[in-house]
Amino acid sequence: MHPSLEKIISQHGELLDCNRPGVSALVTALDAACYELEFTSGGANGESEGIASLLLERVPAIIYAAEFGPVSKCFYASPQIRDILGFEPTDWTNDPGFWFDHVHPEDRDRAIDADEHTKNTGDPLRVEYRMIARDGRVVWIRDEGVVVRDSVGRAVMIHGLMYDITEQKQAKERLLHDATHDALTGLPNRVLLNDRIEQGIARARRETEHRFAVFCVGIDRFKVINESIGPSGGDQLLSEVATRLRQSVRPADSVARIGGDEFALVAEGVSSKDEADIIAGRVHAALARPFCLNETEIFITASIGIAISTGGDDSREALLRNADIALHHAKRAGKARHEIFDAVMHTAVVKQMQIETDLRRAIERDEFEVHYQPIVSLHTGSIDSVEALVRWRHPDRGLVPPMDFIPVAEETGLIAPIERIVMAKSCRQLAEWNALYGQQSPISLSVNLSARRFVQGDLVKELINIILPSGLSPELIKLEITETVIMNDPDVAVQMLNELKALKLRISLDDFGTGYSSLSYLHKFPIDVVKIDRSFVKMIDTPGQGDEIVRTVVHLAHNLQMNVVAEGIETEAQLERLRELGCEFGQGYYFAKPLDTAAMVQMLSHRVGHKRLAA
């Protein structure tokens, strides 16, 4: 035996009984290791002695040797057991039940199975489990062992190393936690949510009756709230929302944050609309209580979309998509409400997908044409400008009005290429018409701009690229935007509008009065024209409704040096009253419906909006 090992064994005498077969195998292995190390390092005895003692004492693991039996009996445990578990080697070697008693109850079956497997097959042992240390600490152990066989090849003994891997485990758990949780609220993120939904589906496959529901919860107008309370207030609000959502579901249910202002819940055991309604009601109620942030009370509402599982054949993607579709419905239906995904929504989605496919084809095949509706001076009766209104010449459906496809185009982003087409065609057309009919006073062009386009960073560049080659002067172009566009993000809107104004383009506020109906913000934006929505024009000759709103808007707009266009004039009485109220421009069926190019040319050749005005 290598002298270094001999020395060490003498120090461990009472523990290491070299005559026992298992120990002798361990000693033989160590002996070989000492010689090997001495040989490879060319070192002296002292060095291999150090190495041997290192092997037994300094290796950061408990070295053990145990005999297989009905209850495995440990007959050697190295002193590292003191550092790792706080026990003495003899605590283990004297007590056959020691290991079993100190393995964490939740990990016991797994650890015993691994041990049995090694005993039965002779395969090396490699298992991780938790042990309870003397002071009650939980210690993660990686247990690696090899069997020792007797003369007939039976596995009779095991030599092993038990490493303390608690830190590794904790670091890994932290990493895993960070990858699956939202840092702000501590809630699971989309990754973990996906996992929970998959678990629900798997359970429905095992238990055919099991159902669950996925809720998508969106905070209404969060962007506006966030701007008014500042980002740290917004963070605080989101954390508080997370807490309240957790409180409004059962512990077994999951709550996740899946977007800036969007959360998801997975509620187990929900199979009916009524049950889903109850949970949604609880969520609405939890969020309806005021939030106290920096001594200010904030009130919020949420829209909720719900998809109820149908069984083991569900797909995670479909459930999440359906809940999201239902959320969109809830938002569109006026917010602060919930909707449950159903067959009608499904049909609507299928229809929308069909329109989307058709729209893509329509863009490729240039199926869009522009109709024009004159905007007439109420004083002179002459055509001041025309509004370009898109029409879709569908190969099967004929002429499709914008209402039937603009919303889908906006949602899918296809509005951008469509509006590029409208802009390019109408600018070219107006340049041509002005050359023919606009010598005395040029005709200007109103073009609608969707909310979606408005926030696209490249809008200004794109407009330059379209307008310049058309030859139409930018002063003659009015971009029609709606109140929603500017109120979505007022700061960005002001900046954008100023950029557009710098190009000498003019800005029209379309359908005024249908959005925020707030006169107070008008002065903040560089707007040239206010278009009063036709619902107010209608009121003029509806008995009892009066014309106060129109009067006020005209008055305010004039004070702010803005022009006013009244939309949807259909009767002579409306026209007369609007003239009296000082409104200078009008548009509506009374003058003309939107006209195709040929019909518009007819009108322009007279340059008069209506025969009665011309007379």
Name the minimum Å distance from CB 454 to Mg ion: 14
Binder among 510, 553, 566, 604 for Mg ion (CB under 5 A): 510
Binder among 31, 240, 324, 419 for ligand C2E (CB under 6 A): 419
Which has the closest alpha carbon to 391: 432, 459, 448?
A: 448
**Subset of 443-472 contacting ligand C2E (CB under 6 A):** 448, 450
What residues contact residue 465 under an 8 Å CB cut-off, 6+ apart? none
**Subset of 527-586 contacting Mg ion (CB under 5 A):** 567
Is residue 228 within 8 Å of residue 237, measured between CB atoms?
no
Considering only the stretches 37-45, 171-179, 187-195, 583-591, report the one whose residues sit in contact with ligand C2E under the rule CB under 6 A.
Answer: 583-591
Q: Which does 390 bind (CB under 5 to 8 A by kind): ligand C2E, Mg ion, none?
A: ligand C2E
268 vs 511, beta carbon nearer ligand C2E: 511
Q: Which does 267 bind (CB under 5 to 8 A by kind): Mg ion, ligand C2E, none?
A: none
Q: Is 588 in the site for ligand C2E (CB under 6 A)?
A: yes
Q: Which does 483 bind (CB under 5 to 8 A by kind): Mg ion, ligand C2E, none?
A: none
Cα 139 from Cα 85, distance rounded (Å): 7
Helix (H) / strand (E) containing 258: strand 254-259
Cα 201 from Cα 311, distance rounded (Å): 7
Q: Which does 330 bind (CB under 5 to 8 A by kind): Mg ion, ligand C2E, none?
A: none
**Subset of 537-576 contacting ligand C2E (CB under 6 A):** 568, 570
- Give the chain's length: 615
Cα 530 from Cα 513, distance rounded (Å): 10
Distances (CA, A) of 387 to 328, 374, 384, 513: 31, 6, 10, 19
E strand segments, 165-226: 212-219
Can you state the percent helix, strand and coil of the chain, rounding each to 5? 50, 20, 30
Is residue 375 within 8 Å of residue 384, measured between CB atoms?
yes
Name the minimum Å distance from CB 587 to ligand C2E: 6
37-46 LR contacts (CB < 8 Å, sep 24+)? 38/2, 45/3, 45/4, 46/4
283 vs 445, beta carbon nearer Mg ion: 445
Is residue 530 within 8 Å of residue 553, measured between CB atoms?
yes
Name the minimum Å distance from CB 551 to Mg ion: 20
Name the minimum Å distance from CB 175 to Mg ion: 54
Which has the closest alpha carbon to 513: 577, 478, 479, 556?
A: 556
Binder among 69, 311, 401, 546 for ligand C2E (CB under 6 A): 401
Q: Is 511 in the site for Mg ion (CB under 5 A)?
A: yes
Q: Is 390 in the site for ligand C2E (CB under 6 A)?
A: yes
Helix (H) / strand (E) containing 59: none
Binder among 260, 589, 602, 606 for ligand C2E (CB under 6 A): 589
Considering only the stretches 182-190, 326-334, 418-426, 448-456, report the one whose residues sit in contact with Mg ion under the rule CB under 5 A.
Answer: 448-456
Q: Which does 261 bind (CB under 5 to 8 A by kind): ligand C2E, Mg ion, none?
A: none
Cα 110 from Cα 127, distance rounded (Å): 8
Q: Is 448 in the site for Mg ion (CB under 5 A)?
A: yes
208 vs 542, beta carbon nearer ligand C2E: 542
**Subset of 196-235 contacting ligand C2E (CB under 6 A):** none
Q: Which does 419 bind (CB under 5 to 8 A by kind): ligand C2E, Mg ion, none?
A: ligand C2E
Q: Is 480 in the site for Mg ion (CB under 5 A)?
A: yes
Cα 313 from Cα 310, distance rounded (Å): 8
Q: Is 413 in the site for ligand C2E (CB under 6 A)?
A: no
Name the minimum Å distance from CB 385 to ligand C2E: 13
Considering only the stretches 140-148, 291-299, 306-314, 581-589, report the one whose residues sit in contact with ligand C2E under the rule CB under 6 A.
Answer: 581-589
Q: Is 521 in the site for ligand C2E (CB under 6 A)?
A: no
Instruction: Give the CB-side neighbour count of residue 410, counting CA atoms within 13 A.
Output: 15
Which has the closest alpha carbon to 148: 17, 29, 58, 54?
A: 29
Name the minimum Å distance from CB 601 to ligand C2E: 19
Spatial strand order in the sheet of 73-77: 73-77, 61-67, 155-164, 138-149, 125-132
Q: Is 510 in the site for ligand C2E (CB under 6 A)?
A: yes
What end-to-end distance do the CA atoms of the chain give, in Å? 127
Which has the closest alpha carbon to 510: 537, 531, 525, 490?
A: 531
204 vs 507, beta carbon nearer Mg ion: 507
Q: Which does 329 bind (CB under 5 to 8 A by kind): Mg ion, ligand C2E, none?
A: none
Report how many residues bind Mg ion under the rule CB under 5 A: 5
Q: Which residues bind ligand C2E (CB under 6 A)?
A: 373, 389-390, 401-403, 406, 419, 422, 448, 450, 480, 510-511, 534, 568, 570, 587-589, 594
